[in-house]
Amino acid sequence: MLYIPEEGGAPHSVTVPCDYDTSVLLGGVGTNGDASSVVCRVFTSPENVFCRVTAPRKLQLRCRLGSRITALSASEAESGGDAPTGLEIKRGGVEAMALYSGASRDLLCSSSLEGLPEGAEPILCRAFVNVSECRPVSAGEYRCRGDVVIECVYKKDGSLGTLTERVGFDETVAIDGDISSGGPDETSPVRASGTVTSAELHTDDSGSRVEVVYALEVETVTPFTADVVYDAYSCVSPASVEYDDTEFLSPAVCASANVTLSERVPKNTVGRVVTSTARADIGGASSERGKLRVSGELRGASLILSDGEYDVVPFSLPWECEMPASVPEGAETTVWGCACVPSLSVRADGELTVDAEITVSATAACVRRERVLSSVTAAGEPFPPRCGFTVYYPSKDETVWDIAKRFHVPCASVASEGNVNSDGTPASVVVI
């Protein structure tokens, strides 16, 4: 986690091992304890980690796997109030990201498998969730639509076959935490995904049916400015200043995209494809010309009947998609999210031909590193008073702070009348 302590100063970083449900006390997080005070970056699958502020200055972490999470508080405790006289502290704002998330769990859908051939006996079924649309309907609520795709393998007359059915859903997902002020609005980017908790096959005298329990998750990001201390010096001598290299996250994109694959896999295979299964993984991301390119791999296997024998043939295909994003070219990007396969078709006609549709739902952020102040000590005698004056011609990029530090005088001495323009930048000629 990356957080700002109660006593002020620069953000601190710490790695927290998370078992299943852990609470961590954070200093510097807003007293209202809302979700906008914390940014979380998850290095495992987002379905395995849950992170939010549940009480003032308390961050709750829930995960099924050991994870590293990065958090940054939205506001910094005021520092410098007790500093010695003459201490000059430079403050600045860093654009970070507030991550909002919510989930609707234990949703239920069922299918009576009416498409089964007469006399067919279902053996096993699986399901996954395809979210096609998710839009805000009110403050903190999103309406998600899509399908629960159910695939079943059945047996008939000594042979196997597959049946695919889709059950539509229209559900509302609420964002966790208080977002009454400064939270996401209708223009905020959003990504949505779904996970299946269980898919149970029931067969009795009335027929066969599949009951699916699933969950919907929504994630959205909004930018905010975190107040940090960049530099410090003292008008007394000597002064001791320490700095830390700190890492922030700046929002890039939070969106969904579709990928269509139609590839031939060099497998010497001939026969009837009984059933196929596949999953898509996100491998990484790169930025170029205002777009974010997300890539990954489609991994799966097909059960093929050939000459009366069944054979399992694995396959693997790369995929990539582009999303529009305000990402500086060449910037280091971290991405997390999920990808599902709503449609998969495989043919074995000498080679393995794979046709698939992949829905990618990803959140990405740019990694930004800053050198910020961690502590400062000012002591000793004041510098002797300056005699006379100095005429200085500042460079194009210099600020009032830079000039004051260069000549070791208070900023107020540089920013006096005639030395600064109306926008606060130094004039072409500064008299100190």
At which residue do the structure tokens 């005088």 appear?
409
- 210 and 308: one domain? yes
- 282 and 340: one domain? yes
- 269 and 123: one domain? yes
Whether residue 240 lies inside any domain: the answer is no
- 121 and 213: one domain? yes
Question: First CA to last CA across the chain, in angstroms?
Answer: 44
- Residue that is last in its domain, among 17, 42, 76: 76
Q: What H or E segment, with its residue span, contains residue 407?
A: helix 400-407
User: In the structure encoding, which two tokens stand for residue 178, read together?
Assistant: 């208080």
Amino acid type, 115: G
Name the residue range of residue 157's domain. Answer: 100-220+252-368
Whether residue 247 lies inside any domain: the answer is no
On whether the CB atoms of residues 428 and 420 are closer than 8 A, the answer is no
121-138: strand order across its sheet: 121-138, 141-156, 159-174
- pLDDT tens over the chain, length 432 residues: 444 455 544 444 444 555 444 454 444 444 444 444 444 444 444 444 555 554 544 555 554 433 333 444 433 334 444 555 678 888 887 777 777 788 899 999 999 999 898 888 898 888 989 898 898 888 788 999 999 999 898 888 878 888 989 999 999 998 876 665 566 777 788 888 898 989 999 988 888 999 999 999 888 877 777 777 888 888 877 777 888 777 777 766 777 888 999 998 887 788 888 888 888 988 888 777 777 888 999 998 888 888 888 888 889 999 998 887 777 666 777 788 888 888 889 988 888 899 999 988 888 777 777 788 877 777 777 777 777 888 999 998 899 999 998 888 888 888 887 899 888 899 999 998
Whether residue 161 lies inside any domain: the answer is yes
- 363 and 395: one domain? no
- 275 and 406: one domain? no
Whether residue 408 lies inside any domain: the answer is yes
Whether residue 93 lies inside any domain: the answer is no
Sequence-distant (≥ 6) Cβ neighbours of residue 419 within 8 angstroms: 400, 426, 427, 430, 431, 432
- 104 and 72: one domain? no
Q: How many domains does the chain have?
A: 3
- 110 and 20: one domain? no
What are the residues facing 164 on neighbouring strands? 151
* 418 Rama class: left (phi>0) / alpha (psi -120 to 50) / beta: left
Amino acid type, 249: L
Whether residue 91 lies inside any domain: the answer is no
- 55 and 129: one domain? no
Q: How far is CA 52 from CA 19, 23, 30, 49, 82, in A?
A: 16, 10, 13, 10, 33
- 211 and 271: one domain? yes
What's the pTM value of the predicted model, to 2 decimals?
A: 0.63
- 184 and 57: one domain? no
Burial class (CB in 10 A: 0-12, 13-18, 19+), 19: exposed
What distance in Å separates the CA atoms of residue 368 and residue 95, rounded to the nearest whole number? 9
Whether residue 243 lies inside any domain: the answer is no
On whether the CB atoms of residues 87 and 18 are closer than 8 A, the answer is no
- 54 and 111: one domain? no
CA atoms within 13 A on the CB side of 369: 6
The number of residues making up the chain comes to 432
Whether residue 236 lies inside any domain: the answer is no
